[in-house]
Each structure stands twice: as C-alpha cells, then as structure tokens.
C-alpha cells in the first residue's frame, strides 16, 4: 500500500517531540521502513533510526532527516496545529511545535524510501536512511556516531540531506563550500556578594557586572574581528534576582555564537573567556565565573565537486530555473558530523516550503515580506504541496545520481 505522505505529515506536525524524546516519531519511521522492506535498526543514539536497503554492488548513499521539534507554542491557526506539551531537559513543562520543519524532513525521506524501494530494478548499490534525533540540541548526530552508527550501517560514499526553508515551495537552493555557520551556546554564571538594594556599597553587584559584560562582549565583533571576517555574538538571556530591593549573589547569561571559520571560532571563544574573567576581576568578584559550552554545531561544508554534480542532476529533473544559489546561511546544523565521521563528502540543500503567492513581487531591494515566517517562528507553516513532492524528488534524484 502506498504511503499517504500528507497523512503522515499532518500526524507528525500534530505530535512533535523534543530532542531525544522522539519515541513516537521513531516508532512510526521504523514501522514504515519495515513495511517497505528495509533492514531497520532503532535506538541508535537513544532514539535514532537507521534503515538499510542493499541492492547489489555499487556505492553506499546515506540520506538523513532530523526528527525533533522545538519548545515553541504554535500560532499558525492550522487545523492540525500542535497542542503538544512536554518536559524539557531542565524539568520545565513547555509547549512543543515543529517550528523548524523536521516533520517535512521525516515525511519527505519516507517518501524517498518508498520510491527507492519500488525502483530497485533501476539502480544498484546500498541506500542508508538515517532519521536523527536532537538536531536542535546539537548532539543528535554525534550521539548516533558515538553509539556505533557506522558499525551498524555500511560506511557511505556520500551524505545527502535537506532542510525546509522560507523559500517558494517547489524551489531548491544550494551553496558549495561553507554553507552554514558553526554555532556555540555558552552559559556564563557571574558570582557576586548579595545584599540589600539600599546598601549597594556592601555588595558586589552581579547584575551590574552582567550589564557591563553584555556591552563588552559586543566589542569582540566590532573591535577584534576584521572587516573581511564574519561572526555574531548574541547575549540572548540574562537572569538574576528575585526582588527589586535585593541585590542577588549570582547572575546568569546565555550566549549564542556564530562563526564561518574554525580559527575565527577559537579566537571568538577565547575572547569571551578572557573578557568574562577580566570583568569579574574588575568588579572584585569573590570567585571566578563559570563558563560552559552547552551546545556546539560544526561548520556545514558542502563538497564543491559533489554539490555541482547534485545541482546538475536536480536541474535536469526539476528544471534549472528552480535550482538556485543559497549563499552562506548564518543558521547551523549538525549533519556535517555524519560526513566527518565517515570521512566522506556532504551535500546539504534547502527546500522551499513557503506559499509561492507570498513571494510575488519580491526583489533584492524590497526584501522578503514580514508575512513570510522563518524557521523557529510560532507561525512557521510550510505548505504541504508542492513542498513534500519536491522534497521527495530532490532526495531520490540526489541518491540516484550516485547510485546510478
């Protein structure tokens, strides 16, 4: 029986799961793969699933999709909008939404699995499908590798994957070389001496320390990074205190760092550590701050030769006017971990999911309309078609380019 991709997608969208909690999604994936004749392996890296379809001699092609949702309250107004809630890793009860489109990724890969299984008389080699947990946490790909992924599945010759994006549905965008930024999430705890708000002279105020540190961290990009280099240092969280007239003893900051070069990344991280420690010393903090790198995403690097091969192959089936350049994206991904671990090339592209009507009249000068929600927005809602059919076509065409 043919898979009903629309039905699968709606079900996944209604029932998202957080990182490393994708038990229901993994079970759905495993069940469909088994029905399609794949050799199925589950619980790789906690909730990851791998499917293998061996079809004679030839290359081994790995296709990857991520499965996790985000702690976002959905505001799309869709009939199938998520009402799910879950307990996050910090013990908080949070809403859950597929605000990054991983439901599209899973559904499209299942559709590709079906087409590849039905056309084994047309290709030779081995297809490996990886349904990865916890991309949003930055640890899912590494967890699968550490759990022996490449001892369970054959070592691939190429890693392929896609990500739905606010582009017109039916379009595909790809960029050779560095395609997505490296990302680091850093938690900093500053230590002060608490006391009464009316007597600040008896305290070491971590709130003021945090404010000063926030301003100084912005000088890394403005004064330590060359005009020809690119980096982002964002302080996304500051937490301190319980009452207006109490100076607390600690303050916590949450940072997001984006870089496009491994050497630059080390320089930026080093500058953050240097400035944070110096700021604490300047304030007379009773002890040094703690600095923890809680999430880390590598650069996403598309092998130029393989990317050109993919672009030409997809252009033949989709039309060259629907395969465009993506440019470098400041967002981040951990799919590169799989290619690096296997020591093989990666090609990772962007799949349009936006209503084409919303892009009418858009020019480089005008920019995108605010009516086009981006990934991670509570309003992010890819149109089901032609998003899914294009996603399936892209995956199958890319796989067949190497399998053929």
Give the per-residue SS3 of 300-357.
EEECHHHHHHHHHHHHHHHCHHHEEECCCECCCCCCHHHHHHHCCCEEEEEEEEECHH
> In this predicted structure, which of 63-77, 156-170, 307-321, 370-384 has the lowest mean pLDDT?
370-384
Given this model, what pLDDT does residue 356 score? Answer: 86
pLDDT in tens, 186-241: 999 999 999 999 999 999 999 999 999 999 999 999 999 999 999 999 999 999 99
Q: Confidence band (pLDDT; 50, 70, 90) for 404?
A: confident
Q: Is the pLDDT of residue 155 over 70?
A: yes
Residue 193, classed as helix, strand or coil, is strand
Phi-psi region of 82 (alpha: psi -120 to 50; beta: other; left: phi over 0): beta
- In the chain, the percentage of residues whose pLDDT exceeds 90 is 92
Given this model, what pLDDT does residue 364 score? Answer: 58
Written as six digits, the tokens of 245 are 């007239």
Overall average pLDDT of the 82-105 stretch: 96
pLDDT in tens, 18-77: 999 999 999 999 999 999 999 999 999 999 999 999 999 999 999 999 999 999 999 999
- The CA distance from 389 to 108, in Å, is 7
Q: Is the pLDDT of residue 317 over 70?
A: yes
Choice between 373 and 93, residue whose per-residue pLDDT is larger: 93
Given this model, what pLDDT does residue 382 score? Answer: 97
Given this model, what pLDDT does residue 368 score? Answer: 57
Given this model, what pLDDT does residue 361 score? Answer: 65
C-alpha torsion sign, points 386, 180, 290, 188: negative
Given this model, what pLDDT does residue 367 score? Answer: 55
Q: Is the pLDDT of residue 377 over 90?
A: yes
| Whole-prediction pTM | 0.91
Q: Confidence band (pLDDT; 50, 70, 90) for 260?
A: very high
Q: Is the pLDDT of residue 138 over 90?
A: no
Task: Give residue limits of the domains in the chain.
Answer: 5-180+299-403, 182-296
Q: Which residues pair with 231 in a beta bridge?
A: 259
Q: Is the pLDDT of residue 362 over 90?
A: no
Question: Any residues with CB less than 8 A from the CB of 137 and at least 6 apart, and which?
Answer: 19, 20, 68, 89, 295
Angle at 206 between CA 205 and CA 210, to 5 degrees: 130
Number of H helices, E strands in the chain: 10, 18
Given this model, what pLDDT does residue 358 score? Answer: 82
Choice between 370 and 309, residue whose per-residue pLDDT is larger: 309
Angle at 260 between CA 288 and CA 224, to 5 degrees: 50
pLDDT in tens, 272-301: 999 999 999 999 999 999 999 998 999 999
Q: Is the pLDDT of residue 339 over 90?
A: yes
For 24, 240, 348, 352, 373, the CA distances from 169, given in Å and listed in that order, are 28, 44, 17, 4, 13
pLDDT averaged over the chain?
95
- CATH number for the segment(s) 182-296: 3.30.70.360
DSSP label of 81 = -
Angle at 208 between CA 202 and CA 211, to 5 degrees: 170
Burial of residue 253 (CB within 10 Å: 0-12, 13-18, 19+) is buried
Which fold, 5-180+299-403? Aminopeptidase (3.40.630)
Written as six digits, the tokens of 91 are 């013990």
- Token pair 């985000």: residue: 70
Q: Is the pLDDT of residue 304 over 70?
A: yes
Residue 11, classed as helix, strand or coil, is helix
């Amino acid at each position: 029986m043919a898979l009903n991709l629309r039905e699968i997608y709606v079900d996944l969208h209604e029932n998202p799961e957080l990182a490393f909690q994708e038990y229901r999604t993994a079970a759905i994936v495993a069940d469909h793969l088994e029905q399609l004749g794949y050799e199925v392996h589950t619980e790789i890296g906690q909730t990851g699933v791998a499917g293998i379809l061996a079809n004679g001699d030839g290359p081994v092609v790995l296709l990857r999709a991520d499965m996790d949702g985000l702690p976002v309250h959905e505001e799309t107004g869709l009939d199938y909008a998520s009402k799910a809630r879950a307990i996050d890793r910090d013990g908080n009860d949070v809403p859950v939404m597929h605000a990054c489109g991983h439901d599209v990724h899973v559904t499209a890969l299942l559709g590709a699995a079906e087409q590849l299984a039905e056309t084994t008389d047309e290709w030779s080699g081995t297809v490996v499908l990886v349904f990865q947990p916890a991309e949003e946490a930055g640890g899912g790909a590494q967890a699968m590798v550490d759990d022996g992924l490449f001892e369970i599945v054959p070592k691939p010759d190429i890693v392929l994957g896609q990500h739905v994006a606010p582009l017109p549905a039916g379009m595909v965008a790809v960029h050779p070389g560095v395609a997505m930024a490296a990302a680091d999430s850093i938690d900093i705890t500053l230590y002060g001496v608490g006391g009464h708000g009316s007597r600040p002279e008896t305290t070491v105020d971590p709130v003021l320390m945090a404010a000063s540190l926030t301003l100084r961290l912005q000088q890394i990009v403005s004064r330590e990074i060359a005009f020809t280099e690119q980096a982002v240092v964002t302080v996304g969280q500051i937490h301190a205190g319980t009452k207006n007239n109490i100076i607390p003893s600690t303050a916590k900051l949450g940072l997001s760092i984006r870089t496009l070069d491994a050497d630059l990344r080390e320089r930026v991280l080093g500058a953050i550590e240097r400035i944070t420690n110096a700021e604490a010393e300047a304030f007379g903090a009773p002890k040094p701050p703690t600095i923890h790198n809680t999430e880390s995403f590598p650069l996403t690097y598309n092998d130029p030769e393989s990317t050109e091969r993919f672009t030409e192959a997809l252009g033949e089936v989709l039309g060259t006017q629907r395969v465009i350049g993506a440019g470098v994206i400041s967002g981040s991904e951990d799919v590169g971990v799989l290619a690096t671990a296997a020591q093989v090339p990666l090609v990772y592209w962007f799949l349009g999911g936006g209503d084409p009507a919303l892009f009418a009249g858009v020019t480089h000068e005008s920019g995108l309309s605010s009516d086009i929600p981006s990934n991670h927005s509570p309003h992010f809602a890819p149109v089901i078609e032609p998003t899914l059919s294009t996603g399936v076509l892209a995956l199958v065409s890319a796989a067949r380019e190497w399998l053929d």
